[in-house]
Amino acid sequence: MQERHRLGEEEITRELFRPLVTTTPMMWVGFIGLGAVLAIFVFAISWMFYWGLGVTGLHRPNMWGFMIVNFVFWIGISHAGVMISAILRLTQAEWRRPVTRAAEVMTIFSLMTAMLHPVIHTGRPWRTLYWVFPYDFWRNLWPDIRGPLVWDPSAILTYLTGSTLFLYTTMIPDMALARDRSTGWRRTLYTILALGWRGNERQWKMQTIAGFLLSGLILPVFVSVHSIVSWDFAVSLVPTWHATVFAPYFVIGAIHSGVSAVVTLMALMRWLFRFENYIRLEHFDAIGRLLIAVGTGWLWFFLLDIFFAIYPQEARELEIMQFRLFEWPFNVFTALIFIFGYFIPVPIWVFQRFRRNVKIMFWTSILVNVGMWAERYWLIKPGLMRKYEWTFDWAWYRPSIVEMSIVLGSFALVGFLLLVFSKIFPPISVWEEKEGQHFAQQLQVGKRVVNAIVREF
């Protein structure tokens, strides 16, 4: 922790607001590059809407494909925000300060991206909207609440609402700060968003209480979201999907991939916005330690899932297990999941030297998410390709170029939104940084100087 610098308040404000006022060449590259991919994304979706789902690789029995896999993946990523902010806020972990904002924003954008998938996946999304907006109560035809696809949007929308409120609550003081230092449309925007924040004691107290309450309330939602997403699969009778472990397994996998995505984001922000003074090596160290525990927990559930899928020794389940463990291309996926998801990154993270190396942390976090994408695909697809004894109906799934563009585009969408966000709002919570500076103390213990924190209970 030797790298901690004492920074003045003015300096913090200036540096953290820098991305809002200056656009570096790299940011332009980001905007244009991501924008181009986004254009492909929009084109692919429009193409699909125009011609119908025939342009995808979906067929019978592979009724669900890349879009659903990607949906699960992005829901997984969205678990990072609350994991980092709410849990670390409740446990008052100091190292959360520079990552909360980015993690929460990523939660919201990846949730929105995720929600897009099941909607466009129906092929005629206006039909979905037709039943929802406005709901035609007069016919007394309610949605079937037994359907997991009704639980899904309920959980996700609750989560989205909750995380947006949570993010907004933590942004109000920064909005006031921005309001006082801006002109033009920005000033108008920040004035509205700041809700008349003056920073008096009562306002701070309300803001703190609201933050804590929302963290507490959002935790059950956070667990429920991916559990419910997992039940989309597990309540069906498809062999290898019908597994009791799915809910906690999906949740821990989501945390694994989400927290890794936060590491990726931290490294990118540090590089793109030159936030070396804020996103420090000790933060990578701490999040790396957290990832060891999360990754190992995930491995346990992964192995439970595999072992107990084989355990009943039922022909139809064994058939799929055999298929996805040993046959191309799923054998490669299996290897990817194990190696990228666990056996490369975690042993690396065990060493503090590597945890404090931004490049290594960046690339290992990318690896984890490659592995986790493979895991989602591995979990969802084989069950459909080899469903029950009907060898007559077994079929391969080959995603079409349209689906691939949608998957690729979803990454560009999240990246683009994040970049736009950091042009308008400070990507690191300014007031939390300042608060952290106040609480930070140094202690002389014997010959050593130890970092210490003053904390309120």
Partner 1 sequence: MATHGHAHGHELQRTWELAPADVLNAGLRWVRSIGTGRRTLVLVCAGLFALGVLAILAFPLRQGFAERQAWTYVAVAFLYLMSTAAAAPALSTALRVARSHWRRPVNRASEIWAVTLIIPFLLYLILLPTFPGTEDRLSIWFGWPLSPWLWGAILLLALTGAGYLFAWFSSLPDLAIVRDHGSPAQRRLAAWLSRGWIGSHRQWRFYEKVVNNIGVLYVLIYVPVMTVLASDFIIALIPGYFTAVFPAYFTITSFQAGIALTIVTMAVLRRWGGQAEYLGREQFWALGKMLLAFSLLWFYFWWSEFIIFWYGRMPHEIQVLKLLMAETYRWPFILSFAMNFALPLLILMWNPIRRSITGPTVVAVIVLVGNLIDRIRLTSAAFSQPDAALLGHAHKLKELPAAYVPGIADMVILVGMVAGALTLVLWAARYLTFPSVAEVVGGLWLRAHKPFKHARVIVIGKTE
Partner 2 sequence: MPRWGMVIDLDRCIGCGACVVACQAENNVPINTEDTYHQRRAIAWIRLERYWEGEYPNVKARYIPVPCMQCTYAPCEPVCPVYATYHTTEGINMQVYNRCIGTRYCAVNCHWHVRFFNFWEPKWPDSLKNQLNPDVTVRSRGVMEKCNFCVHRIVKAQHKAKVEGRALRTDEVQTACAQACPTNAIVFGDLDDHNSTVSKLLAQAEREGRVYRLLEDLGTDPKVYYLKKIDLEAAAEPAAAH
Interface residues with partner 1 (CB under 8 A)?
1, 92, 220, 223, 227, 231, 234-235, 237, 242-249, 282, 285, 293, 296, 300-301, 304-305, 307-314, 441, 443-446, 450-457
In the bound complex, what is the minimum distance in angstroms from residue 317's beta carbon to partner 2?
13
In the bound complex, what is the minimum distance in angstroms from residue 140's beta carbon to partner 2?
11
Give the residue with the Cβ less far from partner 2, 239 or 415.
Answer: 239
Residue 60: left if φ>0, alpha if ψ -120 to 50, beta else—which one? beta
Other CB atoms closer than 10 Å to residue 436's CB: what's the count?
19
In the bound complex, what is the minimum distance in angstroms from residue 231's beta carbon to partner 2?
10
From partner 1, partner 2, none, interface partner of 54 (C-beta below 5 to 8 A by class): partner 2
From partner 1, partner 2, none, interface partner of 135 (C-beta below 5 to 8 A by class): none
Under rule CB under 8 A, residue 311 binds partner 2: no
61 upstream amide cis, omega within 30 of 0: yes
Output DSSP code: residue 8. -
The token pair that represents 161 in the structure block: 């609402």
From partner 1, partner 2, none, interface partner of 385 (C-beta below 5 to 8 A by class): none
The token pair that represents 327 in the structure block: 């046959």
Q: Which of residues 238-257 bind partner 2 (CB under 8 A)?
A: 238
Stretch that binds partner 2, among 14-22, 61-69, 218-226, 260-268 (CB under 8 A): 61-69
* End-to-end CA gap in the chain: 24
Give the residue with the Cβ less far from partner 1, 32 or 445.
Answer: 445
Under rule CB under 8 A, residue 198 binds partner 2: no
The Cα–Cα gap between 263 and 243 comes to 31
The token pair that represents 205 in the structure block: 């107290």
From partner 1, partner 2, none, interface partner of 243 (C-beta below 5 to 8 A by class): partner 1
From partner 1, partner 2, none, interface partner of 347 (C-beta below 5 to 8 A by class): none
Stretch that binds partner 2, among 101-109, 137-145, 279-287, 407-415 (CB under 8 A): 137-145
**Phi, psi dihedral angles at 314 (to 5 degrees):** -95, 140
In the bound complex, what is the minimum distance in angstroms from residue 40's beta carbon to partner 1?
39
The token pair that represents 139 in the structure block: 């016919």
In the bound complex, what is the minimum distance in angstroms from residue 232's beta carbon to partner 2?
8
Q: How far is CA 350 from CA 259, 336, 371, 381, 437, in A?
A: 16, 20, 19, 33, 29
Other CB atoms closer than 10 Å to residue 357's CB: what's the count?
18
Give the residue with the Cβ less far from partner 2, 149 or 213.
Answer: 149
Candidates 16, 44, 53, 413; binder of partner 2 (CB under 8 A) is 53
Stretch that binds partner 2, among 13-21, 147-155, 301-309, 428-436 (CB under 8 A): 147-155
| Complete DSSP assignment for 93-140 | -GGGTTTHHHHHHHHHHHHHHHHHHHHHHTS-HHHHHHHHTT--GGGT
The Cα–Cα gap between 310 and 295 comes to 23
From partner 2, partner 1, none, interface partner of 393 (C-beta below 5 to 8 A by class): partner 2
Stretch that binds partner 2, among 145-153, 185-193, 244-252, 443-451 (CB under 8 A): 145-153
H-type helices in 196-280, by residue range? 201-234, 246-272
**Longest CA pairwise span in the chain (Å):** 78
16: nearest Cα among 362, 422, 437, 438: 422
In the bound complex, what is the minimum distance in angstroms from residue 297's beta carbon to partner 1?
9
Q: Which of residues 351-410 bind partner 2 (CB under 8 A)?
A: 384, 387-393, 395
Stretch that binds partner 2, among 91-99, 127-135, 280-288, 337-345 (CB under 8 A): 127-135
Q: Considering CB under 8 A, how many residues would be counted as binding partner 2?
A: 42
Query: 295, 338 in Cβ contact below 8 A?
Result: no
Under rule CB under 8 A, residue 131 binds partner 2: yes
The Cα–Cα gap between 44 and 264 comes to 27
Give the residue with the Cβ less far from partner 2, 63 or 350.
Answer: 63
Handedness of CA 35, 36, 39, 41 (dihedral sign): negative
Query: Interface with partner 2 by CB under 8 A: which residues?
Result: 52-54, 58-61, 63-64, 118, 121-124, 127-128, 130-131, 141-144, 146-150, 232, 235-238, 315, 384, 387-393, 395
